[in-house]
Amino acid sequence: MLAFIIRRIVWTIPVILLVILMTFLMMRLIKGNPFQVTDRPVPPSIQRNLDRKFHLDKPWWEQYLYYVRDVGRFDLGPSLVQRNQDVNDVIKEHFPTSIKLGLMAMGFAIVIGVPLGVFAALRHNTVLDYTAMGLANLGFAVPSFLVATLLIYFFALRLKDYTGLPTNGWNGPSSWVLPVIALGIYPMTYFARLVRGTVLETLQQDYIRTAKAKGLRWRFVVGKHVLRNSLIPVVTAAGPVLGGLITGSFIVETIFGIPGIGRYYVTAVTGRDYSVVMGITVLLSVIIIVANLVVDILYGYLDPRIRDERA
Amino acid sequence: MSEPDVVSSEPATKRRGRRLKGGPLQTRRTEFEDTLARTASARGAEAGASLPRASLWGDAFHRFMKNKASVVAAVAFLALLAFVIIVPFVSSEDPYALDFSQAYLSPSWDHPFGTDQFGRDLFIRTALGGRVSFAIGFAATFTIMVVGIVYGATAGFLGGHVDNALMRFLDALYGLPYLPFAIMTLAVFGTVNFWTMVVALTIASWFTTARVMRGQIITLKQNDYVRAAYAAGAKGPRVLYRHLLMNTLGVIIVFVFLELPGVILGEAFLSFLGLGINPPKASWGTLAQDGYTAYQAHPYIIVIPSLCIAWLILSAFFIADGLRDALDPRTKEA
Amino acid sequence: MALLEVEDLRTYFKTREGEVHAVDGVSFEVEEGSVLGIVGESGCGKSVTSLSIMGLVQSPGRVVSGSIRFDGRELTTMSDKNLEDVRGKQIAMIFQDPMTSLNPTLTIGTQITETIRRHMDLSKSAAEKRAIGLLEEVHIPDAARRLRDYPHRFSGGMRQRVMIAMALSCNPQLLIADEPTTALDVTVQAGVLELLDDLRRDHGMTMIIISHNMGVIAETAEQVLVMYAGQVVEQATVIDLFDRPEHPYTEALLGSLPKIDEPNPRNGRLSTIPGRPPDLLVPPEACRFAPRCRYAGMDDCNKVQPELREIRTGHWVRSNHPASERAAEPVGAR
């Protein structure tokens, strides 16, 4: 098992390198060399800085290697637009907010979605099942910008006097509620449907019949046999869910005016702050890759058959 | 952003797949199912007539039709399609005329969807926007399918080292965040038009298709009839085309309906972030973005195109579900 | 009073096309300490019968009518809670496929001790000790260490032994074994059957063994029930059944067994029973075996269903043409 883990970790390195390479290449494709040709004239002092930092006199693959080395040192270069800031500063300033938002949204999604799915599966083909899944499907289909807008519309405008939930900014718990819900609805529906599926499938299995034949109490069977086996796929689903959270955060942060990294990314792209764009992209990629790694390892730990296969 | 899929970067063979991928999860036929099956065939025999030659598609079609949810979804989908195709031909409104005196009218008989800030009729604009969204959607889905199928089928068919290398590379690509790369692609092109949008949407979306295709090909490759074809003298490409690809057609069709909503939603997201198709051409996404600025006073401007998107997503999803059940020859729970 | 008394049990399954009469009026008794064998082909209702006894028939099936009395108590009207007390403790069941019948993510130690702790008031360590004892009783070597193993670490035969150990863990009065050897290698089958026999004697258990394999029945059962199309068609002691079978179906079953010593009258070909079992959706009013019976005549066979009658002491048959009455029929009489 340890050998597997090590092998898996080692394998992420070329993946990260590849991602950086692709990002780097894309950046270079944007109107020639983006670090020289920007809309705004770049003052000579900055230009010298950039030349040094990015080794612009060297061939592109050398530049790439330098960049990789810098990434390894966690040095993502200076911002092209905010003259006094490094990309790292930008990240430090905005990223924690996004992380908080993302984690809370994920928490919301799991806490609401998983029990909903289990409940729907246990009450399979009843009105409750159909209602729950109907709602889940609705939440799945409606684009998050509409969800966010509707939330703001109802809570901030119509019900303002009753709830007083702020719809802008990120200060204090009450301002977290609406954005977390807006961001968390889509993953919540994902989990609800996934869990319902896995629970239904588990209920069909022979070993559940065996458990019943042994006279175990039904609640016990559900808690011990059914849930355990049904929730394993939920862990592995964390990967795509994370991707969805990142995407969703761009929208939600924009709408709710939350100073996170998603909102900053869009500003950076339209403002042609390419080093920031690259830095954030690399950061997000690394997060996804690490998350997938953790999920992979966790999955092996949870399912004994895989555990043995890997040993 | 497609249907729940258990995806991790583990090689596909070790993954617990959903029914489409690789081998199905084995369920032992119970005595009861035996009885049911025999009941059905016995009845056929009693009827006297010999069992008609059932074709795969005919059978699937009938099964699909029996599924109420799928039929409703199909009707809804076609209705939406009809809306976007027919309305611009039929309506007398000019979608591009600016008339500020008519600005921000609520939905009425004259303007079923109201008007926007420029006084343009939203009914026809929504329909036209739908055309753009659908066009982008189909084009991007098609591209995703082509790329995914070529990549996956190559990997699956050739197997061995090639397969290994291709799959490792694919695993690496999974680390690319979808939206940032779509955004960057648009930045690379510098402008957002139909084609650049299609490319941007394809870039980070074809991975699942490739993986599923590979899984399908690998499973089918092991089937005896493939070996029989080789034994009869068929050459590689012919085997690939006739036997393998034709049999995966069903899977491909299901995937089309799964990817389409994701792609259209992606386009909507990009538009909403300000990276949509340039005006005056509009898509549902750009219409929604337009509406966002005025949602407080005139919520319908953002609600309507968003609901169109939701309508599309829901109907496509249920169609995909129904297709999947219809093409799966095994009987499900009663 | 027999330990188990089943009277006119009917279990039907609701399907889209109607109700399937899986078990249609089955009655029998099992005396304490005896072994009842139930034999019949797939779909005849034998498994459903045993599931009905345990109350494990899942929707869309349900016990429609009839009585099942165990140790004097009526099981069909028992609350779920009380049934849960009976299951595992007084009546235990082992199933056909030991691979899928065990939870792959729990150690077998957990799966055994959870049963023990459910029905007996034992601490965890006491339960574990008992589990180890049980594993040793079913001849699993290195029991203490194996307790921590997962099911996939065991071979098929050993898994079945684990199932047996689980079933015996609370000293049930009745053990129902549903096709216990069908999924096992032939070489392993004998061992499992022998084990069952030994354990039964050691624990003084009553047993019902279900199989489609006449050999298994011949070896283990004392009383035999032959089922066909949801009904009991013959019942006798095992010796009497094999020696002098009465029902044409039983004869055909025994006749279709390949014999090493006797010359086969059909030029060395295996004899089979032509035709297929009837549609249980609309069971025929008449004798259900008639379409396949070589003795079926123009008489009541196709009009009225024969009753189960005692043709000899302890030998019951449901047929218009049982073997002992056939010899008396003059040839050519119709």
Low-confidence stretches of chain A (pLDDT beneath 50): 32-34, 37
Helix (H, G, I), strand (E, B) or coil at A234: helix
- The span from the CA of C39 to the CA of C238, in Å, is 11
- The span from the CA of B51 to the CA of B31, in Å, is 24
Smallest CA–CA separation between B3 and chain A, in Å? 8
Please tell me the predicted confidence (pLDDT) of residue C264: 55
Residues of C in contact with A224 (CB under 8 A): 106, 114
Lowest mean pLDDT among A63-67, A188-192, B66-70, B266-270: A63-67
Helix (H, G, I), strand (E, B) or coil at C26: strand
> Packing angle between helix B207-221 and helix B246-270, nearest 10 degrees?
170
DSSP letter at C43?
Answer: T
Query: Which of A137, A143, A285 shows the shortest C-beta gap to B175?
Result: A285
Does the structure show a pLDDT above 80 at C24? Answer: yes
Query: Which of C54, C102, C103 shows the shortest C-beta gap to A213?
Result: C54
Q: Is the dihedral of CA C290, C38, C322, C285 positive or negative?
A: negative
Residue of B nearest to C45 (CA): B31
Mean pLDDT of the C18-47 span: 89
Do B124 and B255 form a contact (C-beta atoms < 8 A)?
no
Does the structure show a pLDDT above 90 at B144? Answer: yes
Mean pLDDT of the C99-111 span: 90
Query: Which of A27, A157, A247 shows the shortest C-beta gap to B296?
Result: A157
B: neighbours with 3+ CB pairs under 8 Å? Answer: A, C
B38 and C276 within 8 Å at the Cβ level: the answer is yes
Q: Two tokens at B68?
A: 């109420």
Please tell me the predicted confidence (pLDDT) of residue C176: 94
Do C224 and C238 form a contact (C-beta atoms < 8 A)?
yes
Do C110 and C169 form a contact (C-beta atoms < 8 A)?
no
Q: Two tokens at B103?
A: 């600005």
Please tell me the predicted confidence (pLDDT) of residue A81: 66
Do B122 and B116 form a contact (C-beta atoms < 8 A)?
yes
Residue A62 touches partner B, C-beta closer than 8 Å: no
Query: Which of B32, B41, B43 shows the shortest C-beta gap to C61?
Result: B32
Does the structure show a pLDDT above 60 at B53? Answer: no
The phi and psi torsions of C4 (rounded to 5 degrees) equal: -125, 125
Mean pLDDT of the B47-55 span: 40
| Confidence bin at C271 (pLDDT 50/70/90) | low
Does the structure show a pLDDT above 50 at C39? Answer: yes
- The span from the CA of A134 to the CA of A119, in Å, is 14
Length reported for chain B: 334
How does the average pLDDT of chain C come out, rounded? 85
Please tell me the predicted confidence (pLDDT) of residue C102: 92
- The span from the CA of C248 to the CA of C302, in Å, is 15
CA distances from B107 to A154, B93, B113, B299 (A): 20, 15, 5, 11
Do A79 and A87 form a contact (C-beta atoms < 8 A)?
yes
Mean pLDDT of the B285-306 span: 82
Mean pLDDT of the B130-156 span: 90
- The span from the CA of A279 to the CA of A27, in Å, is 11
Q: What is the number of helices (H) and of strands (E) in chain A? A: 15, 0
Residues of A in contact with C93 (CB under 8 A): 213
Q: Two tokens at B254?
A: 């299901």
Residue A266 touches partner B, C-beta closer than 8 Å: yes
Which of C10, C7, C6 has the alpha carbon at shortest distance from C283?
C10
Do C175 and C94 form a contact (C-beta atoms < 8 A)?
yes
C: neighbours with 3+ CB pairs under 8 Å? Answer: A, B
Smallest CA–CA separation between B159 and chain A, in Å? 21
Lowest mean pLDDT among B22-31, B112-121, C6-15: B22-31
Does the structure show a pLDDT above 70 at C260? Answer: no
Helix (H, G, I), strand (E, B) or coil at C5: strand
Q: Which pLDDT tens digit goes with each residue over A148-161?
A: 888 877 776 666 65
Q: Two tokens at C283?
A: 């069971």
The phi and psi torsions of A283 (rounded to 5 degrees) equal: -60, -50
Residue C97 touches partner B, C-beta closer than 8 Å: yes
Top pLDDT among A265 and B23 is at A265
| Omega before residue B280 within 30° of 0, cis | yes
Which of B138, B218, B140, B204 has the alpha carbon at shortest distance from B174?
B204
Residue of B nearest to C279 (CA): B39
Mean pLDDT of the B250-258 span: 84
Model pTM?
A: 0.79
Please tell me the predicted confidence (pLDDT) of residue A39: 56
How does the average pLDDT of chain B come out, rounded? 74
Residue of B nearest to A293 (CA): B9
Mean pLDDT of the C39-54 span: 89
Helix (H, G, I), strand (E, B) or coil at C228: strand
Q: Two tokens at A51?
A: 């030349």
Does the structure show a pLDDT above 50 at B332? Answer: no
Residue B72 touches partner A, C-beta closer than 8 Å: no
The phi and psi torsions of C208 (rounded to 5 degrees) equal: -115, 125
Q: Is the dihedral of CA B306, B307, B308, B310 positive or negative?
A: positive
* Kind and range of the H or E run holding A218: helix A218-220
A215 and C105 within 8 Å at the Cβ level: the answer is no
- The span from the CA of A170 to the CA of A55, in Å, is 39
Do A77 and A87 form a contact (C-beta atoms < 8 A)?
yes
Residues 259-318 of chain B whose Cβ lies under 8 A from any Cβ of chain A:
261, 265, 268-269, 272-275, 288, 292, 295-296, 299, 302-303, 306-307, 309-311, 313-314, 317
With vertex at residue B95, the alpha carbon angle to CA B90 and CA B97, rounded to the nearest 5 degrees, is: 130
Instruction: For chains B and C, count residue pairs whose Cβ atoms are closer than 8 Å.
Output: 47
Could you tell me which residues come within 8 angstroms of residue B75 by beta carbon, excluding any fewer than 6 positions away? none
- The span from the CA of C181 to the CA of C212, in Å, is 10
Residue of A nearest to C83 (CA): A215
Q: What is the ipTM of this complex?
A: 0.84
- The span from the CA of B183 to the CA of B67, in Å, is 39
Does the structure show a pLDDT above 50 at B23? Answer: no
Could you tell me which residues come within 8 angstroms of residue A311 by beta carbon, excluding any fewer than 6 positions away? A1, A4
Tell me the sheet residues that pair with B115. Answer: B121
Q: Strand C206-211 and strand C35-39: pairing?
A: parallel
pLDDT > 70 fraction of chain C, expressed in percent and rounded? 93
Do A261 and A95 form a contact (C-beta atoms < 8 A)?
yes
Does the structure show a pLDDT above 80 at C26? Answer: yes
Residue B164 touches partner C, C-beta closer than 8 Å: no
Residues of A in contact with B1 (CB under 8 A): 186, 244, 247
- The span from the CA of C168 to the CA of C269, in Å, is 43
Please tell me the predicted confidence (pLDDT) of residue C263: 61
Which of C51, C171, C149, C152 has the alpha carbon at shortest distance from C100?
C152
Question: Which of B35, B332, B333 to probe the C interface (max C CBs under 10 A)?
Answer: B35
CA distances from B63 to B16, B56, B67, B69 (A): 27, 11, 7, 12
pLDDT > 90 fraction of chain C, expressed in percent and rounded? 32
Please tell me the predicted confidence (pLDDT) of residue B51: 38
Amino acid in the structure at residue A308: D
Question: Which of A133, A205, A247 to probe the B interface (max B CBs under 10 A)?
Answer: A247
Smallest CA–CA separation between B235 and chain A, in Å? 36
Q: In what order do the strands lie in the sheet with C18-30?
A: C18-30, C4-15, C61-70, C73-74
Q: Which residues of C4-19 are buried (b: 16+ CB within 10 A; e: fewer)?
A: bbbeebbbbbebeeee
Smallest CA–CA separation between A105 and chain B, in Å? 17
Top pLDDT among C191 and C274 is at C191
Q: Which residues of C276-305 are buried (b: 16+ CB within 10 A; e: fewer)?
A: ebbbbbebeebbbbbbbbebbeeeebeeeb
